[in-house]
Amino acid sequence: MTTVAAVRQCALTLAVSGIIGGNTFDVLFLVLADTAYRKGSIYHAIGPAPLFLISLAILLTATLLLGLIQRQRHGLANIGFESVAVLGFYLIGLAVLVWWPGS
């Protein structure tokens, strides 16, 4: 919500800082989890489905950052290109997970 409020007030630096800071904080949890995991590196315990979800989250975050850099006043259905792209990537990711082997 802080990032959305910052974008609405045209404080793009605060919005980008909020996204990067939140992602950095999440990475700290991965460091703690990797330290606590006793069977080796936690990254070796990740299967293909969670790896796909992590990659999708990175793609969605990068798309939103591009939307913050290049603001668009009017677009398809009066939303910006980044919103259309995020919706498309999300639906493609959902379709991949539905038809994922073994799900």
What pLDDT, in 10s, does the model give residues 15-33? 888 888 888 888 899 888 8
Structure tokens at 49: 């489905």
Segments making up each domain of the chain, as ranges: 1-44, 46-103
pLDDT band of residue 89 (cuts 50, 70, 90) is very high
Q: Which band of pLDDT confidence, cut at 50, 70 and 90, is reported for residue 96?
A: very high
Contacts of 71-77 spanning 24+ positions with Cβ under 8 A: none
Distances from the Cα of 15 to the Cα of 7, 10, 87, 89, angstroms: 6, 9, 20, 22
Q: Is the pLDDT score of 43 beyond 80?
A: no
| Global confidence as pTM | 0.62
